[in-house]
Amino acid sequence: MPEHSAELIRRTRNAIRDIPDFPRPGILFKDITPVLTDPQLFRDIIDSFARHQRDNSIDVVVGIESRGFIFGAPLALAIGAAFVPMRKPGKLPFEKVRIDYALEYGNDSLEAHRDAIGHGQRTLVVDDLLATGGTAAAAARLVEQLGGTVAGVCFVVELAFLEGRGRLSSWPVDSLVVY
């Protein structure tokens, strides 16, 4: 997989804002909203991920609720793929498939429409941040449960010290900025 440019990594890292003690004491939140207020940086990030996926024959991009939607939808357009939102329970109106998974602080679930991903469709899972990997691993398993093939997972930010990449070892992982 090609590398993201050092310049893009630097610009993105400089735009990400640290918010101490959010959402609870002891957490240093990586805020990507300043990235989104810079249209050229936002475009460059999407273009870089699109270059990385150019030869992967991606049919579907899955965005994980909610910030995965922000990066997943334009990436799907850039590579000519369908976009599928993977949502928290109760937000999709059609027949759904659900996966439950454990987090470090409890349990959660994701849902997708039963017909969102066809058998064998090559799928890219996208989110803004990789922490412990639980949500992304659940999303990838749900893609497989729907009959798709996970071609990779990508993130704007990876918190490597939380070792989430290890939970995703079955799939190629692409992260732009690693802390």
CATH number at residue 116: 3.40.50.2020
Question: Which residues are designated catalytic?
Answer: 67, 104
For residue 81, tell me if it sits in a domain: yes
Inside any domain, residue 146? yes
pLDDT computed for residue 47 by the predictor: 98
CB count in 10 Å sphere of residue 92: 18
pLDDT digit string (tens) for 30-79?
Answer: 999 999 999 999 999 999 999 999 899 999 999 999 999 999 999 999 99
Residue 150 is assigned to a structural domain of this protein: yes
Say what the pLDDT of residue 60 is: 98
In a domain, 1, yes or no: no
The pLDDT score that the predictor gives to residue 2 is 66
Strand pairing partners for 28?
A: 20
Domain that holds residue 15: 6-178
Q: Please give the Cα distance from 35 to 11 (Å, whole number).
A: 9
**Ramachandran bin of 161, using left for φ above 0, alpha for ψ from -120 to 50, beta for the remaining angles:** alpha
Number of domains within the chain: 1
Residue 124 lies in a domain: yes
- pTM attached to this predicted model: 0.96
Q: Would you say residue 94 lies in a domain?
A: yes
Answer whether residue 1 shows pLDDT above 90: no
Examine residue 69 and state whether it is found in any structural domain, yes or no.
yes
pLDDT tens-place string over residues 65-82 = 999 999 999 999 999 999
Report whether 173 contacts 165 (CB < 8 A).
Answer: yes
For residues 93-112, one letter each, b for 16 or more C-beta atoms within 10 angstroms of the residue's C-beta and e for the rest, the string is eeebbebeeeeeeeeeebbb
